[in-house]
Structure 1
Amino acid sequence: MSRNRCDGLLARVDFPLYTLQTLTNRHVLVAGGGGASNTGVANGFEIFEISHNGSRFVAEEVMRHETGPNVVMTCSVNSAQNRTYLAAGQESHCQLYKVNIRMVDAAEMRRGSFRAENGLVRRRRRTVSENDNISKKDSNSNTTEKRISFEIRPIDSVQTDFGDDPLQRVVRVSHNGKLMATGGMDGRVRVWSFPKMQLLFILDAHTKELDDLDFSPCDTQLVSIAKDGFAYVWSTASKKAPLLKLTCQPPNGNKYLFRRCRFGLIEDEKDAYRMFTIANPLARSGAARGLLQLWRDGSLQRSVLLPESLASLAVRDDGRFVGVGTMFSGSVDIYVAFSLQRVLHVQNAHMMFVTGLEFLPVRGYGPPIASRSEAALLSISVDNCLCVHSLPCRSTVPAWVAILLIVFVLFCTFTLCSYLGI
């Protein structure tokens, strides 16, 4: 099934977006910027609260934090042990932020004024069409009702890449909040203690710049991919040789390079997980068909060829769905994880390539958003847009209809038997 691009538009910001993270079941952080050049384009973060008004998803800006001349190209959020941290890649360094979650009077936020992290009073900006019932909600709301707000405060910074032209390309924090992995132009994977950011060891196997990293759900393994065409699976306990060395195995025999990697849970098996990768052809001649692959225990399980090159990958926190974003048309697809069957296609979701994807979580902090969707996938791009793409719940027959059908079938059966004298 397909949907029109405008159906998914949640918000527009005033800078290009490069990275996307969920903070709670209802809050999402986007980051990016125009870089250090004097273009007048800001660099920083924005946090939005996502909700569903009964007919569509809507977003409201909660706060904004600008990072001066430093563009944020990659980031990772961790909420563990009653604390939330944000690790952000800024040039050759990783900047650590403490994210303070606080409760604010809901009516005050709706009317627009609350105090931001810099002490200034900001207006809460609605980024979708105005809700006609806002004033009614304010008059009927309980004065003790509270809503979540955030403060982002910089804590520490550490250099994570030491190449000739150093640049941190990827950062990932483990699920338990004890480890951080970074990769950059020098091809080395560095594993740090978190949140102290003290270097523990270096994993040195790749020969070219890193493209992606991910921790397994139980945090015992770390996967890294780079432009040398290899994916390595490491143990997080030591700097020994990699546990697995994987190469892309396309069905058409062409040369492919991995671009993104993600682990995903297996619902019906305890402590079991799969790994998903996307890859693009090395040669640029001819039709550049992207490749989505499913791995388990180092063995390739399934492959799907897509019509164009791929840019981004996401797996829902319960492991049921996989999302991919394309390089040229800005399209977004959702697949069933275990079968790689496509269940949603959104053509031209963005005007440019998709830089980030995240599913609205179902196991995160706070109650999930109530909607008529089986899954909802958020996407960003350098077109400054944050969009949502929802997968409608599969239609089911109501119980009363099923009972009527059973009664009707039984009646017809008895009538036929009487007619035949059986």
Structure 2
Amino acid sequence: MSWIRTRPRPRPPHLRPPWWHLVEAEARAGAACPTRWSSPPSTPALQGRLQRSHPSPLGTEEQVPYRMAVHPRGDGVLCAFPNGCRLVRWESPEGDDQHSLVLRSDQEALVKLNDVGLQLAVSFSGEGSILATGGEDGHLRVFKWPGMETVIEEPNAKTSVKDLSFSSDEMFLVVNRSSGPSRVWDLKSSEALANLPREQGEIFGFCRFSTKSDNSQILFVTAMQGDYGKIISWNTSSWTRIGSKKVTRDVISAFSVSPDGTLLAIGNIEGSISVLGSRDMRVVLTVKKAHLGIVTTLVFSQDSRALLSTSFDSTARVTSTESPKSDGISLWSMVLAIILGILVYYYMQHKEDLLAMLPQ
């Protein structure tokens, strides 16, 4: 599930706003069906009319895609099947209905990933110029896109790849495995740059880079340690820990960082979601039982004002991440004014008695 920006066909000026599209890939038995939700930029994702496209499912010969990655510039959806990967491209047909989609499978784009087995992690870089996949067999593959020239290849039959994340400047790639440390790769030199060690009892889960207000970057890694789920932050110059906080007692099943870098979101196996401030990791919003099943994916909108979550229960939910705004006097101000009013009234009614109690 990913937000991409696309431009419509030439139209009159008043009908030419760029649209943000949320591409959510539905996996059905024997079919892969990317679904596009659209919202104009002038309308917040929450309040705007998210218009859903209904493309025809693309037959996949009874195979269900386990992982999907959407190209950020609209170059298709990579689908990871048990025996390898395929690329599904979408096209908007001619006509006035800009929300309809026509799907086609590109058989030539991913020849190097046709028979590589199940990939547990697939991701495009932020600009879409690099593709990385990590297999159940532990094999890490990184390619330039769309030429598919190999950048990094690391066979590893001992530990499966759990998650991977690109830095926004496309200089680094972090890879989490089922055991052992996280590894940081330099994408320019194609060399391993650092290993991020675990503390005793930690099991790393998700990893995400985030850009701070001064344009420096920080790396967040989720981990389970005993009965607690925690978020660890890492300095991306020295690759040392700079913070860690326990944030939940449930297993973290999904993780996301907002595009503006101010918010983090976690989903758990109980179907609840929480939004935290990235600086102090304090919870600013919790939705208990947002879903009836495990939260599988979390994605912030491009303006960081909304969070979309999906679940094994086949539901999708959009949650506002904005702080409620006051339309006038705040509730606490009103309560304080009432209390002061009562005190003044009591004083006026019992002024003489109160003065008599004072020492002469």
Where on the TM-score scale, by shorter chain, does this alignment land: which range? 0.7 to 0.9
| 1:90-121 deviation digits (Å, cap 9, x = unpaired) | 2232212334357853xxx5xxxxxxxxxxxx
Report the Cα offset of residue 237 of structure 1.
Answer: 1.9
Residues of 2 paired with 1:88 and 1:391: CA distance? 30
Matched-pair contact (CA < 8 Å) for 1:44–1:72: no
2:183 is the counterpart of 1:214: no
Match of 1:23 in 2: 4
Match of 1:294 in 2: 233
2:255 is the counterpart of 1:304: no
How many residues of Structure 1 are paired with residues of Structure 2 in the alignment?
A: 307
| 1:33-83 deviation digits (Å, cap 9, x = unpaired) | 2445xxxxx543222235769985654321334242232222222244xx5
2:305 is the counterpart of 1:375: yes
2:196 is the counterpart of 1:246: yes
Where has structure 1 moved over 6 Å in runs of 4 or more? 51-55, 396-399
Closer/same/farther in 2, CA of residues 276 and 54 from structure 1, 3 Å limit: closer
Closer/same/farther in 2, CA of residues 301 and 161 from structure 1, 3 Å limit: farther
Name the SS for the 2:75 alignment partner.
strand
Report the Cα offset of residue 385 of structure 1.
Answer: 0.6
What pairs up with 1:77-88 in 2 under 5 angstroms? 77-80=70-73, 84-88=75-79
In the alignment, which of 182, 191, 195 is matched to residue 146 of structure 2?
195
Q: Unpaired segments of 5 or more residues in structure 2?
A: 6-18, 330-360
Work out which structure has the larger RCO, using CA pairs closer than 8 Å and 6 or more positions apart in sequence: 1
Closer/same/farther in 2, CA of residues 203 and 354 from structure 1, 3 Å limit: same
Closer/same/farther in 2, CA of residues 53 and 233 from structure 1, 3 Å limit: closer
AA partner of residue 317 (structure 1)? P
Q: After alignment, is 96-105 or 171-180 more displaced?
A: 96-105
Name the SS for the 1:84 alignment partner.
coil
What pairs up with 1:124-143 in 2 under 5 angstroms? none
Closer/same/farther in 2, CA of residues 152 and 162 from structure 1, 3 Å limit: closer
Residues of 2 paired with 1:98 and 1:162: CA distance? 20
Match of 1:63 in 2: 54
Matched-pair contact (CA < 8 Å) for 1:323–1:334: yes
Match of 2:343 in 1: none
Match of 1:320 in 2: 262
Residues of 2 paired with 1:53 and 1:338: CA distance? 25
Q: Unpaired segments of 5 or more residues in structure 1?
A: 1-19, 37-41, 110-146, 363-373, 400-422
In the alignment, which of 245, 262, 279 is matched to residue 223 of structure 2?
279
Match of 2:186 in 1: 235
AA partner of residue 23 (structure 1)? I
Report the Cα offset of residue 316 of structure 1.
Answer: 1.4
2:135 is the counterpart of 1:184: yes
Give percent identity, aligned residues only: 23
Residues of 1 paired with 2:273 and 2:184: CA distance? 28
2:41 is the counterpart of 1:47: no
Matched-pair contact (CA < 8 Å) for 1:206–1:228: no
Residues of 1 paired with 2:95 and 2:328: CA distance? 41
Closer/same/farther in 2, CA of residues 176 and 58 from structure 1, 3 Å limit: closer
Report the Cα offset of residue 322 of structure 1.
Answer: 1.1
Closer/same/farther in 2, CA of residues 101 and 213 from structure 1, 3 Å limit: farther
What is the TM-score normalised by the length of structure 2?
0.76
What pairs up with 1:170-181 in 2 under 5 angstroms? 170-181=121-132
2:84 is the counterpart of 1:74: no
2:66 is the counterpart of 1:92: no
RMSD across aligned C-alpha pairs, in angstroms? 2.9
Residues of 2 paired with 1:225 and 1:55: CA distance? 33
AA partner of residue 350 (structure 1)? H
| 1:245-282 deviation digits (Å, cap 9, x = unpaired) | 11234xxxx51211111111112x13x1111111124x
Name the SS for the 2:89 alignment partner.
strand
What is the TM-score normalised by the length of structure 1?
0.65
Residues of 2 paired with 1:231 and 1:206: CA distance? 16
Match of 2:111 in 1: 158
Report the Cα offset of residue 177 of structure 1.
Answer: 2.2
Task: Answer with 1 or 2: which has the greater Rg.
Answer: 2
Matched-pair contact (CA < 8 Å) for 1:161–1:185: no
Matched-pair contact (CA < 8 Å) for 2:271–2:291: yes
